[in-house]
Chain A
Amino acid sequence: MPTDAIVVGAGVVGAACAEALAAAGLSVTVLESRFAAGGATAAAMGHLVVMDDSEAQFALTRLSRDLWTRRAGEMPPGCEDERTGTLWIAATEDELALVGNKAAFYRERGVDVAELDGGALAREEPNLRPGLAGALLVPDDRVVYPPNAARWLLSRAAARGARLVEGAEVSAIHGRRVATRTGDLEAACVVNATGAAAPLLTPGLPVAPRKGHLVITDRYPGFCRRQLVELGYLRSAHGASNESVAFNLQPRATGQMLLGSSREFAGFDASIRPAIRARMVLRALEYAPALAALSAIRTWTGFRPATPDNLPLIGAWPETPGLFVATGHEGLGITTALGTARLVADAVLGRTSPIDPAPYRPTRAFPGAAHA
């Protein structure tokens, strides 16, 4: 069967791209080496969050979060979509000053926020330790269950005629032709959406796996209501150090508490490292000591597809005509999947995008690539 587009990889990014291309009327085939939504997408927290590290990061996360919000009503219950909001927590008065800057940044760009002082924060989240300086509340941020959100996107794509083939590993992409164990497949365009594995199929893509640990607890409904993130999170996420942790606590719709997060470059070694997990838990206990008594039931790791400038790689890969890439989403790929899909479909169809695609162009210069 001839097909207009082949999407390689059925993580959340591939799923969203498949849906957007199918919605545009293309016939789409998704090739997934294992099973859908089993990669980084299965490991992620599913925080849909507007970020302010750079204008480009803001533009993509804001567009994407709003796209998720618009579709919230369509998602089946298994997606566990909830408008939890985010609390960016300032531990000290110095940090509280930064909350002011952050609030101004969001407000100027039309994102709803509220500033909380220490007392208001304590009332909002009584299980945080007393004495924290305050927080910035972003009330419209959300949480989903990523693997099922990705599956739902795939089902929407399928409803528009897209075909998902699981257990179909792509061994090479030769322009508009991809090679699999059962033979070659051709299409007018191919999208490499294989996450951290993308450079294996498209050599030269500056993507490296950045490992993260998560711990989940038994169900404690009401322990916290918002996604709680320390204000210094970006230092961990975007700092130069090879290894970092930050307080990041998420209330799941199930009542479970999901605790992150750590970052390290360790290749594709998925093993759990008790030492970095301990640092992560200790960090969390500094903010929410009551966590110590909750039953932890599982730890796992996942690989964020990281790039040197913390922005994803979205668009045509000119070296190979017909090839588009959509990877490098680091710790924001659940959020940015919908915006990415929009940019990919626009690039494929030659449409104008709602945001400037230039900052995400895969061939952009990477100044001072401090990347391992």
Chain B
Amino acid sequence: MRESVRLTVDGRAVLAEAGVTVAAALWNAGVLGLRRSVGGEARGVLCAMGICYECRVGIDGVPHRRACMELVADGMVIGTGAAAPDVPRPASRVPERVSVEADVAVIGAGPAGVAAACRAAESGARTLLLDDAAASGGQIHRRLPGQPPPEAARSWLERLERSGAQRIAGATVAEARREGEGFVLLADCGGAALAVTARRVILATGARELFLPFPGWTLPGVLGAGGAQALAKGGASLAGRIAVVAGSGPLLLAVAAHLAKAGAEVALVAEQAPLGALAIFGSALALAPGKLLEAARYRAAFSDTPFRTGAWIAEARGTDRVERVVVEDGSGRFEIPCDLAAVAHGLVPNTELARLLGCGTESGAVRVEAQQETTVPGVFAAGETCGVAGIDVAIAEGEIAGLAAAGRDASAAPPLLRARARGRSLARRMARAFRPRAELRRLARPDTVVCRCEDARLASIAACGAAREAKLAARAGMGPCQGRVCAPALEFLFGWDSDTVRPPARPVPLGHLAREETT
């Protein structure tokens, strides 16, 4: 065990392991309800990767801090629910503003962004790599700062070290726009404003999980699948907890394996896709032996756990946290007691910054041509932001984008092009196999919260005719996550396109908007 730090949580002294996230420390202390929703419900961690803003707590007198992104520090004072401050303590200092220039600015330090930054820097471009998270690696290699990267990420991260690319961790990019010949980015860096001027931009912002509403999905202890994994990676202890993993996609197996390894008892893995669809996908996998091995390995890690296809969570129950889930399989319903439900229906590309820049999208992903250039000249995109296709594609696209943004021709690198093509075609089959079934549209009841930021319920949203109208009339998508959680759900439920993105794409201190030298 690492050394301990002393926290004060709602007036109570709490010991936490040094270096973990605030969300993990609170989880370990048995505090699952982190904030009171607009309607007064307890809410806890959902995405655990900084995008849903459900885990907002007060930290050292400042409200609305993301518990999943902040790390504990000795003496930290945390307020949850009604104990969180309403208004920040008057700032002791004016926020600083730092300006940086680069030839190539890469947003997102997942596999795609790291590969892009390596290639761009190695090609001689002054390269800057920005990420919201405290340590590079992205979702798959998420870790705490100071922890050694997993084996699979090490060679790329060492290469990044050598490449000369400048890295800024904990930088949340909130705005991006064209300015003259280049681009301007505005980020928040732990309360300081960071302004980046770059000739080229590479968007490698990855994906988030697709959350579909069902009764009880807002109870603390109901997390995303990757969310539960990320919470554990952030230092949450799962020893002895009973978990149900449900939803859709290959990620479920990886998550179940991870939770089991972290000491959880995985009571069930429920995949909503029918066995038949998976069998077709399985034969596609046979063409990609690496993937098959991976799946077998995950399966071995929780071989005692029942794995059901064609089954999904219809409801979560509990008073102030999840106590059991109701699972449905088309022929009946049964209940499973649990401490944790890890639920997601696949991934949704993060396209907000791309859309702010005016980049075209298609089926919810950023559109790119052969060199990974978007419809906006000078802006490139790579990895899951261009569509969900796994780590190999992310790396290949990152490399291509990095080369191209540095002015080199990536078509001189056929292995990269082949890796990309192979991966993208597999991804298309995967998306079909794991498509959420129609029954999931009927889970939410009229009083089920759909927009968690604003507690907008299904009935009030269903009375509208489009996402923008639902936003104006029912407040769906008006909160700090800016529709990242509910907009994809509304698209699934009603077929609505999401409303236009308005800056800032991420919440940012108002003071950061006060200094813009240019037009």
Which residues of A pack against B, CB within 8 Å? 35, 37-38, 42, 78, 127, 147-148, 151, 166, 215, 217-223, 254-255, 259, 272-275, 277-278, 281-282, 285, 289-300
Say how far A252's CB is from chain B's closest CB, in angstroms.
11
A222 to B88, CA, bound (A): 11
A355→B510 CA distance, assembly (Å): 42
Query: Which residues of chain B (458-499) have a CB below 8 Å from chain A?
Result: 465-466, 468-469, 472-473, 479-480, 482
Tell me which residues across on chain B come within 8 A of A299, comparing CB atoms.
502-504, 513
Against A, the Cβ 8 Å flags (1 = close, 0 = not) of B60-101 are 001110000000000000000000001110110011000000
B473: contacting residue among A127, A148, A289, A290, CB under 8 A: A148
Number of contacts between A and B (CB, 8 Å)? Answer: 117
What residues on B are CB-neighbors of A272 within 8 Å? 502-503
Decide yes or no whether B38 CB sits under 8 A from chain A: yes
Provide the bound-state CA to CA distance between A222 and B86, in Å.
7
Is A277 touching B513 in the complex (CB atoms < 8 A)?
Answer: yes
Contacts of A274 in B (CB 8 A): 175, 177, 513, 516, 518-519
Q: Verify A290–B518 contact, CB threshold 8 A.
A: no
CA distance A273 to B86 in the complex (A): 30
CA distance A217 to B177 in the complex (A): 21
Query: With a CB–CB cut-off of 8 A, which chain B residues contact A277?
Result: 513, 516
Question: Known: A147-B473, A218-B480. Contact between A35 and B87, CB under 8 A?
Answer: no
B190 at the interface (CB under 8 A from A): no
Residues of B close to A291: CB separation below 8 A: 510-511
B514 in contact with A218 (CB, 8 Å): no
Across the interface, which residues of A come within 8 angstroms of B510, CB to CB? 215, 217, 259, 281, 291-296
Cβ contacts under 8 Å, A285 to chain B: 511, 514
B508 within 8 A of A: yes
- Residue B337 CB within 8 A of the other chain: no
Q: Is the C-beta of B263 less than 8 angstroms from some C-beta in chain A?
A: no
CB distance from B94 to the nearest CB of A (A): 7
Which residue of A259, A273, A293, A300 contacts B509 across the interface (Cβ within 8 Å)? Answer: A293
Contacts of A275 in B (CB 8 A): 516-519
Seed contacts A215-B513, A219-B64; 6 additional CB < 8 Å A-B pairs: A35-B468, A78-B473, A282-B515, A291-B510, A293-B511, A298-B502
Decide: A35 near B469, CB < 8 A? Known: A215-B513, A220-B87, A293-B91: yes
* Cβ-defined contact, A218 with B516, below 8 A: no
Q: Given the known inter-chain contacts A292-B91, A293-B88, please indicate yes or no for A278 contacting B513, CB distance below 8 A.
A: yes
Residues of B within 8 A of A220 (CB): 63, 86-88
14 A-B interface contacts by CB (under 8 A)? A38-B469, A218-B64, A218-B507, A275-B519, A278-B515, A290-B87, A291-B510, A291-B511, A292-B94, A292-B509, A294-B510, A295-B64, A296-B512, A299-B503
A174 CB, nearest partner CB in chain B, Å: 30
Shortest Cβ distance from B43 into chain A, in angstroms?
14
Measured in the bound complex, the distance between the Cα atoms of B37 and A255 in whole Å is 13
Within 8 Å by CB of A300, from B64, B502, B511, lies B502
Report the minimal beta-carbon distance from B84 to chain A, rounded to whole angstroms.
Answer: 11
Per the bound structure, the CA–CA distance linking A297 and B502 in Å amounts to 9
In angstroms, Cα B177 to Cα A281, docked, is 19
- Judged by DSSP, the binding face of B is loop
Q: Mark B135-152, 1 if CB is under 8 A from A, else 0.
A: 000000000000000000
> Distance in Å from the Cβ of B38 to the closest Cβ of chain A?
7
Chain B residue numbers with a CB within 8 Å of A254 are 38
Interface centre among B503, B508, B514 (most CB of A within 10 A): B514
CA of A278 to CA of B515 in the docked complex: distance in angstroms? Answer: 6
Cα–Cα, bound, A297→B453 (Å): 12
Q: How far is the CB of B483 from chain A (nearest CB, A)?
A: 10
Q: Which 3 A-B pairs have the closest CB atoms?
A: A292-B511, A278-B516, A274-B516
Q: Could you tell me the distance in whole angstroms from the C-beta of B89 to the nearest C-beta in chain A?
A: 8
Task: Check B466 against A35 for contact (C-beta < 8 Å).
Answer: yes
Q: Is the CB of A297 within 8 A of B504?
A: yes
CA distance A272 to B513 in the complex (A): 12
B88 touches A294 (CB 8 A): yes
Task: Find chain B residues with CB under 8 A from A294 CB.
Answer: 88, 509-510
Cβ contact within 8 Å between A290 and B91: yes
**Chain A residues with CB below 8 A from B86, complex form:** 220-223, 255
- What is the bound-complex CA distance between A290 and B177, given in angstroms? 27
Asked whether, in the complex, the Cβ of A282 is within 8 Å of the Cβ of B514, the reply is yes
In the complex, A364→B469 CA distance in Å? 37
Q: Which residues of A contact B503 (CB under 8 A)?
A: 272, 298-299
- Measured between alpha carbons, how far is A146 from B444 in the docked complex, in Å? 29
The answer on a CB contact under 8 Å between B88 and A290 is yes
B356 to chain A, nearest CB (A): 9
| Residue of chain A at shortest CB distance from B481 | A297
Name the residue on A nearest B63 (C-beta).
A220
Nearest-Cβ distance from residue B40 to partner chain A, whole angstroms: 13
Q: CA A298 – CA B94 in complex, angstroms?
A: 22
Determine which of B468, B480, B514 lies in contact with A292 in the assembled complex, contact meaning CB atoms within 8 Å. Answer: B514
A37 touches B472 (CB 8 A): yes
Contacts of B517 on A, CB cut-off 8 Å? 275
Encoded as 1 (CB less than 8 Å from any A CB) or 0, chain B from 380 to 423 comes to 00000000000000000000000000000000000000000000
Q: Given A217-B510, A218-B480, A274-B177, verify A293-B469 contact (CB < 8 Å).
A: no
Give the complex CA separation of A10 and B505 in angstroms. Answer: 30
Docked CA distance A174–B86 (Å):
56
Smallest CB separation, A154 vs chain B (Å) = 11
B90: A residues at CB distance < 8 A? 290
- Min CB distance B326 to A, Å, is 32
- Which residues from chain A contact B95 at a C-beta distance below 8 Å? 292-293
Inside 8 A of B511's CB, which chain A residues have their CB? 281, 285, 291-293
CA distance A300 to B482 in the complex (A): 13
Task: Kindly provide the distance from the CB of A166 to the nearest chain B CB, expressed in whole angstroms.
Answer: 8
| Shortest beta-carbon distance from A256 to chain B in Å | 9
- Asked if A297 and B482 sit within 8 Å, CB to CB, the answer is yes
Known: A127-B87, A277-B513, A296-B508. A42 touches B482 (CB 8 A): no
In the complex, the chain B residue whose C-beta lies closest to that of A224 is B87
Asked if residues A35 and B465 are in contact (CB atoms below 8 Å), the reply is yes
Contacts of B62 in A (CB 8 A): 293
| Contact of A38 with B468 in the complex, beta carbons under 8 Å | yes
Docked Cα-Cα span, A299 to B518, in Å, equals: 18
